[in-house]
Amino acid sequence: MENLYIVMPAYNEEDNIDQTVEEWYPVAERVNREPGCQAHLLIINDGSRDQTENRLQQLVLSRPLMQFITKPNSGHGPTLICAYRTALEKGADYIFQTDSDGQTSPDEFDRLWRRRKHYDAIFGSRTRRRDGFDRILAERSLCLLLKIIFGVSIPDANAPFRLMRAQFVREYLPLLPEDYFLPNVMLTVFGAWYHRRIRFVPVSFRPRQAGKNSMDFLRIVRVGVKSVRDFYAFRASM
């Protein structure tokens, strides 16, 4: 039995969460109908201060393949780590991660799922990105930094659209501090650095569907400065 967990972090997504679940829950249902497959949608509520938790409580009532956990607020990165660990504890064989802001398309999931047996991880590469020039610039700068520091060529290090074997996540997740703020970046780097069977697949990236993004340009810059120090520390230990 192949057990898939679709995991999403959520923070103050009351304006998006209904539509996001409406789009992604059928993916879990479809995989669950495949012979020898089980699928679940797992949402980690990162201490939202709006009505996100109340909406999740209502949504889960009519969706038996859906689960959610509410935890104290700790930020996107630590919430991702929590999601990955929870999926592993629940017996996942594959983990697919996306975000709950409506920027990714479930129509593109099957391209990754069909190739799951051939790779340790399949990462989305946002070739059609419509979330603002500052974020495009930040991602390109990040990939350049990774090339300089780690010597790996990565087209998109942080895309919230990735299918990973549980064993891949289990092997590299313990290398990250529990409060690390860019776990997806380092999981991508580990895959490239250690020459794992990874593949990058072009995916689209829509504008945020509703609500406000918590990462403004100034915060992106601050995160970038801290990232350089952290990357060099990781590089020294590899």
pLDDT tens figures, 95-124: 999 999 989 999 999 999 999 999 999 999
pLDDT surpasses 90 at 165: yes
Among residues 173, 30, 168, 156, which one has the least CA distance to residue 104? 156
Q: Nearest CA to 125 among 110, 140, 147?
A: 140
The amino acid at 207: P
**Rounded to the nearest 10 degrees, what angle do helices 217-237 and 133-150 cross at?**
20
pLDDT at 215 over 60: no
Predicted confidence at residue 135, as pLDDT, reads: 72
User: pTM of the predicted model, to two decimals?
Assistant: 0.93
CA–CA separation, 231 and 82 (whole Å): 21
- Total domains in the fold of the chain: 1
Q: What is the mean pLDDT of residues 53-74?
A: 98
Cα 149 from Cα 228, distance rounded (Å) = 9
> Is the pLDDT higher at 222 or at 110?
110
The per-residue pLDDT of the chain, averaged, comes to 93
What pLDDT is recorded for position 221?
Answer: 62
- Quick count: other Cβ atoms within 10 Å of Cβ 75? 15
Whether the per-residue pLDDT at 216 is higher than 60: the answer is: no
Whether 217 has a pLDDT exceeding 80, the answer reads: no
Q: Output the pLDDT for position 236.
A: 95
CATH code of the domain containing 210: 3.90.550.10
> Looking at 40-49, 104-113, 121-130, which range is the least confident one?
121-130
pLDDT of 131: 66
Query: Domain range spanning residue 133?
Result: 2-237
Q: Are residues 217 and 134 in contact, defined by beta-carbon separation less than 8 angstroms?
A: yes
